[in-house]
């Protein structure tokens, strides 16, 4: 007749075994290190497994695919930025008027995306789609638009505003068309102004 270890109501889904957790940590650390040292493209799954001192099967069990692993590394890298967005100083963080926040967001997001470009590409669908990362960003933009009293289909408008900041489009404009970064950014601000309408700063 033993008590359950925690109150049943607080029990999440099934927890993770200790060795599993340890291995996830080790793998993530190894992956981060290798990515930083050799660049995303040169990192192989075997190498990550070896560096973490586990078998290859374990890597795939934990992260599903190379995309999944890279998405995890990316998520970790973007955490700090997300903190800035939600709790950092204005105008990126809370406290500034919504239009100023939006403009600051645009620039900061552009920088961050380009900084992590390789990782984002390697994370593929797992990276941009789903994963807390994207939802948070989308939610933030929707929120700012609503603060600016924009009317219309906000989820869709937010997507329209975010789309030109996605890697494939940036690659197109910067690598291929050769537009300088400030022109791309100015274009984005112009787009934002047209979407927001008269309430834009």
Partner DNA sequence: AGTCGAAACGGACCGTGGTCCGCTTTGTAT
Partner DNA sequence: ATACAAAGCGGACCACGGTCCGTTTCGACT
Contacts of 37 (CB under 8 A, 6+ apart): none
Q: Is the dihedral of CA 201, 80, 138, 190 positive or negative?
A: positive
Which tokens belong to 59? 């890597």
Point out which span in 7-15, 24-32, 78-86, 181-189 binds its own copies (CB under 8 A): 181-189
- In the window 159-178, what residues touch its own copies (CB under 8 A)? 159-160, 163-164, 166, 168-169, 171-173, 176-177
Residue for token pair 């599993």: 20
Q: Where are the beta strands (DSSP E) in the chain?
A: none
Q: How many residues bind DNA (CB under 7 A)?
A: 27
Cβ-based nearer residue to DNA, 2 or 151: 2
H or E element that contains 186: helix 181-196
Instruction: Choose the contact partner of 149 out of its own copies, DNA, none; CB within 5 to 8 A by kind.
Output: none
Alpha-carbon distance of 22 to 20, in angstroms, equals: 5
- 46 binding DNA? (CB under 7 A): yes
Reply yes or no: is the peptide bond before residue 91 cis, omega within 30 of 0. yes
Given the rule CB under 7 A, which residues bind DNA? 2, 4-5, 14, 16-20, 22-23, 43-46, 53-58, 60-62, 65-67
Given the rule CB under 8 A, which residues bind its own copies? 125, 128-130, 134, 152-153, 155-157, 159-160, 163-164, 166, 168-169, 171-173, 176-177, 179, 183-184, 186-188, 190-191, 194-195, 197
């Amino acid at each position: 007749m033993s008590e359950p270890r925690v109150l049943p109501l607080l029990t999440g889904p099934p927890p993770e075994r200790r060795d599993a957790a340890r291995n996830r940590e080790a793998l993530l650390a190894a992956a981060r290190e290798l990515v930083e040292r050799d660049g995303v493209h040169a990192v192989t799954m075997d190498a990550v497994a070896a560096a973490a001192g586990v078998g290859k099967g374990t890597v795939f069990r934990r992260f599903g695919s190379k995309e999944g692993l890279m998405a995890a590394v990316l998520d970790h890298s973007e955490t700090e930025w997300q903190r800035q967005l939600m709790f950092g100083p204005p105008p990126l963080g809370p406290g500034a008027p919504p239009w100023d926040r939006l403009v600051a967001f645009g620039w900061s997001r552009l920088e961050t995306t380009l900084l992590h470009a390789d990782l984002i590409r390697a994370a593929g669908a797992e990276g941009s789609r789903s994963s807390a990362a994207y939802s948070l960003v989308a939610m933030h933009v929707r929120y700012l638009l609503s603060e600016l009293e924009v009317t219309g289909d906000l989820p869709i408008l937010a997507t329209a505003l975010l789309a030109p900041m996605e890697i494939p489009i940036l690659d197109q404009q910067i690598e291929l068309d050769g537009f300088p970064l400030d022109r791309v950014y100015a274009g984005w601000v112009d787009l934002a102004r047209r979407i927001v309408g008269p309430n834009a700063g």
